């Protein structure tokens, strides 16, 4: 069963503020953003799945709160016509977490975590590297889903980019697959590599055949 996002949000925010009205307002903003008409993959279901992974791998996390906040805000801004969604999402997260009274060090880390989803690389100077690597692996976990779920994911992403004709979309998707497959590891952490690396590569190789 996937987690109840509103309950998790309220429990999380209650550690930093007693202002239930603010907590409710910020949840409504999250809900509105993630249920927009153009959201087919980067939606509330995606957030639920990542929160579920944070629960599943909680034993490996040092700052679960920071990771949960990063999950909630990492795709709050999502516009396929722009290339700065990650930066804009990070700015929104920093502003909202500051309003909630989250400590500055945690707010800064969340901003950096969200910005890292642009390249899925781990900056040398990043704080909380263990948590960051897990957070990035959570975000990429869909690549290792069973084939039916993986196919659904690729279809949902295509719908998000439906304004682009196949002659533009397919080369971009092909390049993403090839570049990812050429990396030494898709996943950063040993636990994800052991459990998911082979399946992710098999899925991506299978999808790539459609573009060759």
Q: pLDDT tens digits, residue range 92-103? A: 999 999 999 999
- Domain residue spans of the chain: 5-211
So what's the pLDDT on residue 69? 98
So what's the pLDDT on residue 1? 62
What is the CATH number that goes with domain 5-211? 1.10.1300.10
So what's the pLDDT on residue 124? 78
So what's the pLDDT on residue 19? 98
C-alpha Rg value of the chain to the nearest Å: 17
Report how far apart, in Å, the C-alpha atoms of 193 and of each of 43, 88, 120, 196 are.
Answer: 26, 30, 15, 5
Return per-residue pLDDT of the chain as tens, 212 residues. 667 999 999 999 999 999 999 999 999 999 999 999 999 999 999 999 999 999 999 999 999 999 999 999 999 999 999 999 999 999 999 999 999 999 999 999 999 999 999 999 998 777 779 999 999 999 999 999 999 999 999 999 999 999 999 999 999 999 999 999 999 999 999 999 999 999 999 999 999 999 87
- CA dist 191 and 172 (Å) reads 30
So what's the pLDDT on residue 34? 98
So what's the pLDDT on residue 189? 97
Burial of 193 (0-12, 13-18, 19+ CB in 10 A): middle
pLDDT (tens digit per residue) in 64-118: 999 999 999 999 999 999 999 999 999 999 999 999 999 999 999 999 999 999 9
- CA dist 48 and 120 (Å) reads 20
Report how far apart, in Å, the C-alpha atoms of 6 and of each of 48, 90, 135 are.
Answer: 10, 21, 20
- CA dist 128 and 67 (Å) reads 10
CB atoms within 10 A of CB 5: 19
Report CA 79 to chain centroid distance, whole Å.
15
Helical ranges in the chain per DSSP H: 5-13, 20-34, 44-56, 64-73, 85-100, 104-116, 129-140, 147-160, 166-182, 190-208
DSSP symbols for 113-125 = HHHHTTTT---TT
128: left (phi over 0), alpha (psi -120 to 50) or beta: left
So what's the pLDDT on residue 6? 96
């Amino acid at each position: 069963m996937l987690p109840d996002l509103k309950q998790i949000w309220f429990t999380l925010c209650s550690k930093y503020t007693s202002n239930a009205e603010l907590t409710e307002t910020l949840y409504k903003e999250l809900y509105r953003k993630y249920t927009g008409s153009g959201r087919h993959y980067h939606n509330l279901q995606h957030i639920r799945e990542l929160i579920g992974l944070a629960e599943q791998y909680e034993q490996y996390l040092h700052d679960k709160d920071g990771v949960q906040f990063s999950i909630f805000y990492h795709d709050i801004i999502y516009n396929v016509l722009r290339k700065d969604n990650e930066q804009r999402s990070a700015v929104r997260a920093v502003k909202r977490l500051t309003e909630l009274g989250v400590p500055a060090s945690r707010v800064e880390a969340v901003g950096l975590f969200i910005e890292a989803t642009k390249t899925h690389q781990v900056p040398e100077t990043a704080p909380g590297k263990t948590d960051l690597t897990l957070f990035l692996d959570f975000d990429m976990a869909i690549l290792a889903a069973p084939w039916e779920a993986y196919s659904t994911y690729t279809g949902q992403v295509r719908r998000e980019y439906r304004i682009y004709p196949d002659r533009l979309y397919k080369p971009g998707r092909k390049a993403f697959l090839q570049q990812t497959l050429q990396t030494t590891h898709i996943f950063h952490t040993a636990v994800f590599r052991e459990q998911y690396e082979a399946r992710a590569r098999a899925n991506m190789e299978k999808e790539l055949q459609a573009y060759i």
